[in-house]
Structure 1
Amino acid sequence: MYGRIIVAVDLEHIEQGRALLERAATFLDEGGEIRLLHVLEDVPGYIAAELPSDISERRRAEAVVELRAMIDPKADIRIAYEVRRGAASGQILQAAEDSGAELIMIASHKPGLRDYFIGSTAARVIRHAKCSVLVER
């Protein structure tokens, strides 16, 4: 059905990410690729000033390890992973555009009060994506 799929993974909800990955495999064309994507949100400068200077690189390295652990080496499909920095919705959309993705898969969680004012990541991705989006609840 799809040749290139972006699976956006929030590592704080890794079980949802695993479920999305399994489902993505059922949508993938033969010879297609799934790209696991995790976005590290930027830390505000006033907080970053109090953190160790290498915290950003450590967070990225930890995310890479967790994404790699999600990939079954015996799987007969191409699965890549990527860690980006910035606003989650913008980076997901950019990754989809950069890779020519035909589908973005993202999990949705129970919205908090903050989401009602600024909108959730999933909602922003849906509004601005140039390809199909599947939101898993």
Structure 2
Amino acid sequence: MFKKIMLPIDLEHVERLEKALHVGVDLARLYGSTICLVGVTAETPTAIAHNPSEYAQKLQAVAADLAETNEVTAEAVAYAAHDPAVDLDKTLLQAAREAEADLIVIASHVPGLPEHLFASHGGAVASHATMSVMVIR
């Protein structure tokens, strides 16, 4: 049913993504899908990596570990953005199109007061994506 499952991942908060990663892995096993981990980083040094190239290497290592540990096929694509917080939704939608993903599994959080004024990243992606989206809390 799904050939490629895109999983947006924030390397600074991988521990918060555990549930979404499990769902993505389970679906990949069920359908024989490829998992595409997508990360968005700043063009400047961050707490995770000194530059986008180093970030891409770390993201690739996470994908390799995910593939080996869970016996699935996984790849990684890193994007650099001037301001990831502002450009994240647009970049994730672009990544999904470029990867030819037919499902996005994205982690979210329990909505609070800010979400009444601004959409969450998961909500924004789900609202504008042309493919299926599962928002995992």
Q: Into which bin does the TM-score normalised by the smaller protein fall?
A: 0.7 to 0.9
SS in 1 for 2:135: strand
- Residue 74 (structure 1) shift: 4.6
Q: Is the 8 A contact 1:41 1:88 kept in 2?
A: no
Q: Structure 1 pair 58/19, CA: closer, same or farther in 2 (3 Å)?
A: same
- Partner amino acid, structure 2, of 1:76: E
Q: Structure 1 pair 13/111, CA: closer, same or farther in 2 (3 Å)?
A: farther
Q: Pairwise CA RMSD of aligned residues?
A: 2.5
Structure 2: segments with no counterpart, 5+ residues: 82-86
2:18 aligned with 1:23:
no
Q: Distance in 2 between matches of 1:59 and 1:14?
A: 19
Q: Distance in 2 between matches of 1:110 and 1:36?
A: 23
SS in 2 for 1:58: coil
Q: Distance in 1 between matches of 2:12 and 2:109?
A: 11
Q: Is the 8 A contact 1:40 1:88 kept in 2?
A: no
TM-score (norm 1): 0.75
Residue equivalent to 1:80: 75
- Partner amino acid, structure 1, of 2:12: E
TM-score (norm 2): 0.75
Aligned residue-pair number: 125
Match of 1:58 among 50, 55, 70: 50
Structure 1: segments with no counterpart, 5+ residues: 43-53
Residue equivalent to 2:103: 103
- Partner amino acid, structure 1, of 2:129: A
Residue equivalent to 1:36: 37
